[in-house]
Structures are given as structure tokens and as C-alpha cells.
Amino acid sequence: MGLRLPEAISACLFDLDGVLTKTAVLHAAAWKQAFDELLTGLSQTTGEAFVPFDPVKDYDDYVDGRPRLDGTRTFLRARNVQLPEGTPEDPPGSHTLYGVANRKNELVLAMMKTRGVEVYPGSRRFVDEARRLSMSTAVVSSSANAIAVLEAAGLEGLFDALVDGIVAKDAHLAGKPAPDTYLEAARRLDVVPQAAAVFEDALAGVEAGRAGGFGLVVGVDRVGQREELAAHGADVVVADLAELVEP
């Protein structure tokens, strides 16, 4: 066996939701419910037509791969909705950016608890083979729930480093599409970016990999956006990481 990667690559940096775990659909559903609750209320107040959140296009364009607060801000800006930022302690559902973001988090945690967290079998094969080959591995996620997701998925202990939303906040790292979190993961693995491969299903994440000058950026197409992933900077696009595992 082996991996279909350039010889110069010695480290693999994985996004979590949508690359390793089947949680992207839960995130999209949680975002839709949180945003639609807000937009419905605003429509009733202003009399303007209610236009629901699109869990495919709006999710891909505005929130996927971004830190929760950034995703909230980016989508609402696109809809010309202005809310005060608020504070992290705002109750879920409050009409502040933090209130909407906290509502989304409340919803996705409940969905994970009731539905569980599945792992893509091809991704597990890839990670296992990378570790067999003594490659360094890291998870780079904008989620503040990454540790809980890894534990629920049975993936804890398989990665040498984790840079998640909590690490990013504490270290004042800009979120994707900025490359900061991926560069921090490479630093923690003690590898230069040119020796690391980035694996991303989000357009913002692919942009981050390209902006960081990484040796390989792999787009993982789970929802039929192969052309968009390539346009945003993926060197190669696969439907599943199993395609990169030699038989």
C-alpha cells in the first residue's frame, strides 16, 4: 500500500467537518434553522419577503469552513442585515451576531447528540495509512467543538496536533480563508508549508491552503463543487480520500 502524494510531502493537515467526518450536513442544517429563525422574525417586523437560507449555496459561499462568528457576519452582510456584535455570553437566538452564532452551536450540538458522528471510511483508511508511513498528521478546524467531534467519531489519538477554534481564539489567529491556522499546524508539526498537504472540502479552506503556500492542496468534493474547489486553489480534487490510497 501507499499514498498517491508527491514525495516531498511528509505531513497531512486535515479539515474535520466534511473531510474526516460526516458532520457538514449537520452544520448546514443547524445554520439553516438558526438563520431562518432570525430572517423570519425580521420579515415579520419589516414586512420584507422572507428568503430562507439555502443549505447548499449559502452554506458553501458564506459559512462553510469559517469560524462561527465570521460565518454569521459574512452571511448576514450578504443579506444586508445589520446586527450588533454582542458578547459571547449572549443567549442563543438573541438578535446579535453572537446570539445567532450561539443558537447555531446549540442546534448542532443537539443534532450530534441525537444523530451521532460518522467517519468517512475512505478518510479513515487514508489517515491509517499516513500514520503507518510515519507521516505527521494534524486536524485544522474552525470549530470550537473539534475535540468532542473527534471523540464521538473514535478518531482521538490519531493526530499529532490540533488547531481548532479555541486554539485560534487564544492565539489570535485569523480564520479561514486566511492561512494562519494551517500555518500554525505546520509549525506545531515542525514542518515547512511546502512539505505539508492540506485536505479541505470548503472553498474558504482551499483558499487558506493556497494562500499558505502549502506543497499540495487537495479539494474533497462532497457536494458537487469540483470546479469551484479547483478555481479557489485546489491542486487536485477527489470525491473521497480513498482515491489517494494505493491498493
Q: Are residues 54 and 148 in the same domain?
A: no
CB atoms < 10 A from the CB of 1, how many? Answer: 10
Per-position DSSP letters for 155-209, written without gaps between them: -TTS-SEEE-HHHHHHTTPPPTTSSHHHHHHHHHHT--GGGEEEEESSHHHHHHH
Domain span at residue 104? 25-115
Q: Are residues 207 and 96 in the same domain?
A: no
pLDDT at 116: 82
207: nearest Cα among 216, 215, 217: 217
202 — pLDDT class (breaks 50, 70, 90): very high
Q: Are residues 89 and 204 in the same domain?
A: no
Catalytic residues: 15, 17
Q: Are residues 173 and 126 in the same domain?
A: yes
Q: Are 211 and 178 contacting, i.e. CB atoms less than 8 angstroms apart?
A: yes
Q: Which of 70, 96, 115 is the last residue of a domain?
A: 115
User: Is the predicted pLDDT of residue 89 greater than 90, yes or no?
Assistant: yes
Q: Are residues 65 and 102 in the same domain?
A: yes
Number of folded domains that form the chain: 2
Q: Are 63 and 176 contacting, i.e. CB atoms less than 8 angstroms apart?
A: no
pLDDT at 114: 87
Q: Are residues 34 and 140 in the same domain?
A: no
- Check which CATH number belongs to the domain holding 175 and give it: 3.40.50.1000
128 — pLDDT class (breaks 50, 70, 90): very high
